[in-house]
Amino acid sequence: MSATSCPPGPVLEIEGVAAPPRANGELVFAEPWESRAFGMAVTLAEAGLFTWDEFRDSLVARIAAWEADHASGEEYRYYRCWLAALEDRVVAAGLLHDAAVAERSARLAERPAGHDHPDDHGHGHGHGHGH
Amino acid sequence: MSKAAPADRLSPALRTEALEQLLVERELVDPAVMDKFIKTYEQDVGPLNGAKVVARAWTDPGYRAWLLRDGTAAIKDMGYGGPQGEHMVVLEQSDEVHHVVVCTLCSCYPWPVLGLPPSWYKDPAYRAGMVRTPRRVLREMGLEVPEGKRIEVWDSSAEVRYLVLPQRPPATEDLDAEALAALVTRDAMVGVAEVAAP
């Protein structure tokens, strides 16, 4: 990972006929939560809270574990492995204790249907609700 | 998911939301910084970057030589760098050898030049099959590599990211770099396709 907090500017220039990255006709993320999980890993690594190599090791382990053992017929989902690796790294780095995510998730799950972000922090961007 | 631990039954969307809340509350993640990363890789960085590198190599022999000698520096010269692009190696297709890239362990991919990987690149069938039976997998993906041509499969390591420099299609002598870049596809830069003539 580079030390800068964001990629260099010239990368962002959009020009020409083949506007990226959908030039090949495919969305980068299948669901919104995937982009949040992606963004968190990159942000934490760029901030130096863990290294990219450490994250990659966790990702390799999670993918290998899925390939070694999963329910028959279960579809492989790369960003599920990514999310699990991210949780592994966050706990290993001591950023959160290992039950924190499950506890918060369970609390979020109890929200009534059609909830309107009672716990939102006012940062006003889309979360990856899949429900 | 039926045999997972109870906590894992919570949907990934919910777990992701919970994780983000916790990290933001502890000020470990700045949502604005994170949004910027996501937008960058979702909307701004894509295979067009790599296509411009390829087109420049096709039209500038000095740049091509530099690109093959020191991919990282030559690509950085175009303004493309950052995560997953620190150590770039460029593989040149020829009449004798066809290069194709895979990451068997975890789907490493050269983000600065190609954006984020497509789903097939991450698929276990591609990752395992390309190593064992590359000619067959390439055929299934629509690319017939002649029997006499050698296939070299490059497995991304922890350090190195590969970019394939495709062969310039015939009858494109009149095209400038911009027009050439429009012909270059992501798949050709991974090595699962060739660049078709316009």
Residue B165 has pLDDT above 80, yes or no: yes
The answer to whether residue A7 is domain-embedded is no
Q: Which residue has the tokens 């990451």?
A: B103
The answer to whether residue A42 is domain-embedded is yes
Rounded to an integer, what distance in angstroms lies between the CA atom of residue A57 and that of residue B185? 30
Q: In the predicted model, what is the mean pLDDT of residues B24-46?
A: 92
Nearest to A38, CA basis, from A74, A73, A81? A81
Predicted TM-score (pTM) of the model is 0.81
The answer to whether residue A127 is domain-embedded is no
Mutate to test the interface with B, among A14, A27, A35 (most CBs of B within 10 A): A35
| A117: helix, strand or coil | coil
Q: Is B2 annotated as a binding residue?
A: no
Q: Note whether B81 contacts A39, CB cutoff 8 Å.
A: no
Q: How many helices (H) and strands (E) does chain A have?
A: 4, 0
Q: Which residues contact B191 (CB under 8 A, 6 or more apart)?
A: B91, B93, B98, B99, B100, B101, B164
Range of the domain at A105: 22-110
Instruction: Render pLDDT for A3-26 as a digit per residue (tens, 0 to 9).
Output: 333 333 333 333 333 333 344 456
Q: In the predicted model, what is the mean pLDDT of residues B104-132?
A: 91
Burial class of A18 by CB neighbour count within 10 A (0 to 12, 13 to 18, 19+): buried
**Which structure tokens are listed for A25?**
């006709």
The total number of structural domains that make up chain A:
1
The answer to whether residue A1 is domain-embedded is no
How many residue contacts between A and B have a Cβ separation below 8 Å? 236
Q: At B86, is the pLDDT very low, low, confident or very high (cuts 50, 70, 90)?
A: confident
The answer to whether residue A55 is domain-embedded is yes
What CATH number has the domain bearing residue A84? 1.10.472.20
pLDDT score of A6: 36
Percent of chain A with pLDDT over 90: 51
If one counts every other C-beta atom within 10 angstroms of the C-beta of residue A16, the result is: 15
Rounded to an integer, what distance in angstroms lies between the CA atom of residue B144 and that of residue B192? 10
What amino acid positions of B are annotated as catalytic residues? 103, 106-108
Q: In the predicted model, what is the mean pLDDT of residues A83-88?
A: 96
Rounded to an integer, what distance in angstroms lies between the CA atom of residue B142 and that of residue B23? 44
The answer to whether residue A35 is domain-embedded is yes
Q: What is the DSSP string of A38-93?
A: HHHHHHHHHTTSS-HHHHHHHHHHHHHHHHHS--TTPPP-HHHHHHHHHHHHHHHT
Nearest to B109, CA basis, from B121, B127, B123, B125? B121
Rounded to an integer, what distance in angstroms lies between the CA atom of residue B176 and that of residue B173? 8
**Residue B150, beta-bridge partner list:** B97
Rounded to an integer, what distance in angstroms lies between the CA atom of residue A38 and that of residue A74? 22
A7 contacts in chain B (CB < 8 Å):
40, 45, 81-83, 112
pLDDT score of A112: 79
